[in-house]
Structure 1
Amino acid sequence: MESFKHLFHLPDEITYLNCAYMAPLLQSVEEAGIEAVKKRRNPLAFSADDFFSDTESIRSEFGRLINAPSSRVVLVPSVSYGMANVARNVQCSRGENIILAAEQFPSNYYPWERLAKEHGLELRQISPDPKAENREASWNERLLDAIDTNTCLVAVSHTHWADGTLFRLQDLRARTRDVGALLVVDGTQSVGALPFDVSVIQPDALVCAGYKWLMGPYALGLAYYGPYFDNGTPVEENWINRKNSSDFKGLVNYQSEYETGAIRFEVGEHSNFNLVPMLLKALRQVNEFTPQYIQSYTGQLIESTIADLRDSGFRIAAAGQRGNHLFGIRMRQNTDHEQLRKTLDNEKVIVSWRGDSLRISPNVYNTQADLEKLTTILTEAAKMGVL
């Protein structure tokens, strides 16, 4: 399978295995941003259509990526913004509960913490069984077992941001439907690199930051809102989301109706003339790669690495219980994290530490040599007693 490193500006001396932190910009995305800034020099370069055309194209591209109608896709500046729209419209009663996976990213925790405090809800954070031989399976089972008739909402990611644990969204959807609860998914660490089909999973909401696996710029992401939110109240009221907003002359004729679909939840100034062209270019490229290809390519890259590391005593989840694009390497309790961190830094191998997990997240710009370099460093550290 083919590496696409030539499409990026990554220095040859750097081994970048950290897409879960931030994706490097594609050359084409960088060029789109530069051209957008140049165009912004002159206000006369923009027509009324420019406030709408590229954002509509983005909705179509993201809809294609997740197999959802573009009318249900909106631009958001962040995951926290997208989740705030959800939290504002959830109907929960005192004494009910919200289910979360433990230690998930804060933007998918704080909205539910506030909602629980304001409405007298129980916030349940579900951890894996620390004694289980199969940690990932136990985590999924515990999540399913925690859902009961008092559950009003389950908020999880598709893959856990720290170690890549795959959560069984279809099983969670079936269980939440049985008890009448919502399923809200943070797709930041999966969508773009791991297939996600809205028609199969049927989440009530899906929110994604754009600067990781969607390969876009920072401060612009995407959300999908299902039928539950069709008559909801957005966190802000802005002109561009109302009926007939494309008629600039008639904007003083205030409209009580929103545009159709989920558009009411889209962030104000969503036309963002600098970032929108970059995200559009990125989404088109991701759709050209396809998540299926990215999973296959990264799976091929990591296969021998994972086998070698397991032989050296490292703990890594089995295939099918984590993504190929993101996995955690768990260390022994006596690991000298600081020494290992220095070694990786000195060798210019860029990864992330998340809790007790060394997080590895390759993408299409990586090569077999990158993974071999990581393997050599970790296996040598194990031999020398650093681990």
Structure 2
Amino acid sequence: MDISKQKDLFDIPEHICFLNTASLSPSFKAVEQAGIDAVLQKSRPYLIPSSDFFDPVIELKQKFAKLIEVDEYERIATITSASYGIATVANNIKLEPGQNVILMQEQFPSNYYSWKKLTDHYQAELKIVQAPKTKINRGKLWNKAILEAIDDNTAVVAMGHIHWSSGTLFNLKAIREKTFQHKALLIIDGSQSVGALPFSVKEIQPDALICAGYKWLFGPYGCGYAYYGPYFDHGEPLEENWTNRLDSHNLPDLTKYQNEYKPFANRYVMGESGSFIHVKMQLAALKQVLLWTPEAIQDHCRTLSIKAAKELRNLGCYIEIDAYRSHHLFGLELPVSVDIEEFKKILADHGVFVSFRGAYVRLSCHLFNTKLDFDTFITCLKLALR
């Protein structure tokens, strides 16, 4: 398989320059067809076997477990969203007054509000590690500041593998070692990394990993995945749905109420996790992502982005140095001379789709992108600079 020639798997017109997978991924054709097939199947529900409530979900968990290097697929829960997964985590953590929960500056809201509520409830501290003001070695210094922030009062460090708008890469292995030293939990939001950037639970050993499924995992909007480690084996789910209990596959015996949950992360699975439409689309998506491999995706994006980043820096943009950023997603700070509204109009006129997030213009690429896409974006910036 030529990893650089995958655009035919997608339905993206030639005149469209889509550098915005970090916002919402395009479905490739196999995912689209899986969704159509599932919609048609729902038209004849009498042909849907009861096993479809369970078996495809098991297969889905197994595929996600393989992607993140987890041996026990039952440590995977299928969820509705990243916020659902983070809320489940926070729901099972108790703090002492004076303890702290560490977050990164301008973290995505779904990985902020639950921690704000938790620390407020227990009169604990929400400790935000700010990005350094300097643009010299910013990523390196930010990583150093995170390590220095973790102390004996730290109960939780909650963060992404990368920053969702700048693409700054965090050294999770070093951060995990520091949290172990201080007996703090490490909760990772992998929504903007897992699928496009290699991640190993065996290597990092997070206490939980939460991922939205509609970005780099190419699922439909409204799906996600979570890994829950041993700390959460006996926790409380957000909801009590019938599929989370032992022997729930015996449909005739459902009113023989069961006090016990299924083992490990099964208790945290969302209600209606067997969604016949979503699951079929998710399976088609994960099969392809596993075939591509995150390593190959990251390598392709590195090849595309390094040259483009160099050109953009020469035009006066600030981008984190290549060693401290991801290559599938990176943010750039524009020169002050650029009129943002005028630049947005130029991009729209040229069919270029990117995200504006805080101080950054965020570019995110995948296997369907080519050098021409970055060239088009750079041409638009040059027009704005005139």
TM class by smaller structure: over 0.9
Q: Distance in 2 between matches of 1:2 and 1:182?
A: 39
SS of aligned partner of 2:91: helix
Partner residue of 1:368 out of 367, 371, 378? 371
> 1:279: how far off?
0.6
What is the distance in 2 between the residues matched to 1:70 and 1:52?
14
Percent sequence identity over aligned pairs: 43
Residue in 2 that maps onto 1:282: 285
Which residue of 1 is the match for residue 139 of structure 2?
136
Aligned to 1:70: 73
CA distance in 2, matches of 1:357, 1:13: 25
Counterpart of 1:121, as a letter, is A
- 2:150 is matched with 147
With normalisation by structure 1, the TM-score equals 0.97
The aligned counterpart of 1:354 is 357
1:132 Cα deviation after fit = 5.1
Q: 1:344 — aligned with what?
A: 347
- The whole-number CA distance in structure 1 between the counterparts of 2:168 and 2:31 is 30
* CA-to-aligned-CA distance 1:65-90 (integer Å, 9 cap, x gap): 00012111010000111011100111
Asked whether the 8 Å contact 2:338–2:384 carries over to 1, the reply is no
Which of 208, 217, 227 does residue 224 from structure 1 map onto? 227
- Asked if structure 2 preserves the Cα contact closer than 8 Å seen for 1:309 and 1:379, the reply is no
Q: Which residue number in structure 1 is paired with residue 191 of structure 2?
A: 188
Query: Aligned partners of 1:260 and 1:280: how far apart in 2?
Result: 23
Shift of 1:334: 4.1
**1:377 deviation in Å?**
2.1
1:178 aligns with 181
Match of 2:381 among 351, 358, 378: 378
Equivalence for 1:90: 93
TM-score in terms of structure 2 length: 0.97
> Which runs of 4 or more aligned residues in structure 1 lie more than 4 Å from their structure 2 counterparts after TM superposition?
none
Matched, 1:58 2:78: no
Equivalent residue number for residue 269 of structure 1: 272
- Cα shift readout 1:166-197 (whole Å, capped 9, x = no counterpart): 11111111111111110001000000000000
Tell me by how many angstroms 1:102 deviates: 0.9
Match of 2:308 among 302, 305, 308: 305
Taking the aligned partners of 1:3 and 1:324, their CA distance within structure 2 comes to 18
Distance 1:63 1:189 in 2: 17
Structure 2: 5+ residue runs without aligned partners?
none
Aligned match of 2:108: 105
For 2:5 and 2:221, locate their aligned partners in 1 and report how far apart those are by CA, in whole Å.
24
Write the letter of the residue equivalent to 2:357.
R
Partner of 2:48: 46
Aligned alpha-carbon RMSD (Å): 1.1
Q: Which residue of 1 aligns with 2:332?
A: 329
Distance 1:296 1:3 in 2: 14
Give a deviation string over 1:8-48, Cα, whole Å, max 9, x none: 11111110000000000010000000000100111211122
In 2, Cα distance between equivalents of 1:279 and 1:214: 8
Which residue type is aligned with residue 167 of structure 1?
A: F
Match of 1:126 in 2: 129
- Say whether the 8 Å CA contact 1:3–1:367 is kept in structure 2: no
The answer as to whether partners of 2:306 and 2:322 remain within 8 angstroms in 1 is no
Number of corresponding residues: 383
Quote the offset at 1:346 in angstroms.
Answer: 0.9
| CA displacement at 1:381 relative to structure 2 | 3.1
Give the structure 2 partner of residue 19 of structure 1: 21
1:353 is paired with a residue whose SS is strand
SS in 2 for 1:240: helix
